[in-house]
Amino acid sequence: MLLNTCIILVSLLTAVSPIITKAAHLNSTLLHPHQHPDPESVVQELQWKVNASVSRREMLGVYEKDQSSCLTGNPIDDCWRCDSNWQTNRQRLADCAIGFGQNALGGKGGQIYIVTDSSDHDAVNPSPGTLRYAVIQNDPLWIVFSGDMLIKLKEELIVNSYKTIDGRGANAHIVGGGCITLQYVSNVIIHNIHVHDCVPSPISNVRSSPTHYGRRTKSDGDGISIFGGSKIWIDHCSLSNCRDGLIDAIMGSTAITISNNYFAHHDEVMLLGHADNFLLDSAMQVTIAFNYFGEDLVQRMPRCRRGYIHVVNNDFTEWKMYAIGGSANPTINSQGNRYTAPSDVHAKEVTKRVETGDDEWDGWDWRSDRDIMVNGAFFIPSGQGAALKYAKAYSVEPKSAGLVDQLTMNAGVMGGSRGNDGISSGSYSRSTGDNAAGGGSGSSNNRGGEEYFGMIFGGKAPLQLGPPSILFSFLIMLSSLIILYEYDAVFVVTIA
């Protein structure tokens, strides 16, 4: 019986092994359920939303001056900021994302959780009321802050799936050890938060859910680390001065939008992709839109390995080495950005093919469409036939970089200073601003007349992660059997 079973297993593995191997090498989309099958359609949809928002602003600017004052042409902001009662409907924000991360639900449908305690004394048994206690819960949560806070992390903050960290109405700063980690989770929204002065955290035990904690190795000191994550949206944050990257997305992360953020005072700003030979990063899809790349930045805005990266309507005001770099044949679609080169005559180029010969990158799909080049900046495109492909992809033309000022005018944390100037892990001063735009509200527990304490909103049943597809599960199972077969086939035959 055992001999017959082994013969059948070996025959099955021999038959399907070439198919699985070919599929894995030719198209990693078969192995990633969250990768969009048609990235060009996502790009086109984003451009349509920008055009519609800009047109609406221009039209209402003539006929309804009062309403037009809140419209910017930025489709994300215009989706929620014109609602004077946004505080009573915070979760509408989850419907406002664009690009590859537009399906990130965050804590939509979950309870409102209010952070009342800025301490972080115990990473294994966090106290109720702290940010760490909120982010590890299994149920969807929409997390807000009772007032201005400086949260000094002792260890990396490991965020569970279906969470929104919403800093509107408060001035919330996250600093310290490890900062924010999104590891093998999905549906996370981080909005209107200052993240800065992040340093590596030591080897220690850290809780990641109510039922699990484990020993963590030393972290890199990223501001926000996305490790195997999907459906992630980072919006209106101000990030600066971290030990490693400000935002890193690696190890098969995909379905990500990084929008309306303010980056400053940093060397290696953003890394997308783990390693040149890590094939699963071919499934990575990231939208980088309406961000302001500010003072004292050096490189990696972003630095890409594999994947499809849409860089649209950003303002690149400074770099010292290069703005956009890559290796291992990533697709770079740069549209409607403004690139302002530094005074250094040797650093005028926007692009950099990292450790790659000219004959290798000549066929890579890197495009510049309606970008504005300032102070001698230049973008070196590549890829034969790319222009024709992109021309066919768009029934709606992308907006010119001439609108960059308008689209990025509110980049970073809204209300008060959008950067992190003057704020460090050792000092903190409150700032106030337009509360409707997310300004600081001091330490008051009352937000615009609405009492949050003791109240639960949207107490629906927890959203559950959908099961992987049958094909996905089948391929993983067969891949595992192939590995066992390759190492143990001789042993199986012998014992038969």
Known active-site residue 305: no
Q: Pairing between strand 163-166 and 186-191?
A: parallel
Q: Which of 90, 300, 306, 447 is an active site residue?
A: 300
Smallest CA-to-CA distance from 224 within 183, 265, 186 is with 183
Radius of gyration for the chain, computed over Cα atoms and rounded to the nearest angstrom = 24
Amino acid identity, residue 137? Q
For residue 32, CA distances in Å to 65, 210, 230, 333 come to 47, 28, 10, 22
Listed as own residue / partner, the contacts of 89-96 with beta carbons closer than 8 Å and 24 or more positions apart are 90/142, 90/144, 90/166, 90/168, 91/142, 91/164, 91/457, 91/458, 93/164, 93/166, 93/189, 93/191, 94/164, 94/189
Smallest CA-to-CA distance from 95 within 114, 78, 73, 111 is with 78
Could you write out the three-class secondary structure of the chain?
CHHHHHHHHHHHHHHHHHHHHHHHHHCHHHHCCCCCCCHHHHHHHHHHHHHHHHHHHHHHHHHCHHHHCCCCCCHHHHHHCCCCCHHHHHHHHHHCCCHHHCCCCCCCCCEEEEECECCCCCCCCCCCCEHHHHHCCCCCEEEEECCCEEEEECCCEECCCCEEEECCCCCEEEEEECCEEEECCEEEEEECCEEEEEECCCCEEEEEECCEEEEECCCCCCCEEEECCEEEEEECCEEECCCCCCEEEECCCEEEEEECCEEECEEECEEECCCCCCHHHHHCEEEEECCEECCCEEECCCEEECCEEEEECCEECCCCCCCEEEECCCEEEEECCEEECCCCHHHCECEEECCCCHHHHCCCCEEEECCEEECCCECCCECCCHHHHHHHHCCCCCCCHHHHHHHCCCCCCCCCCCCCCCCECCECCCCCCCHHHCCCCCCCCEECCEECCCCCCCCCCCCCCCCCCHHHHHHHHHHHHHHHHHHHHHHHHHHC
**Cα 141 to Cα 125: distance, rounded to the nearest angstrom:** 19
Active site residues: 300
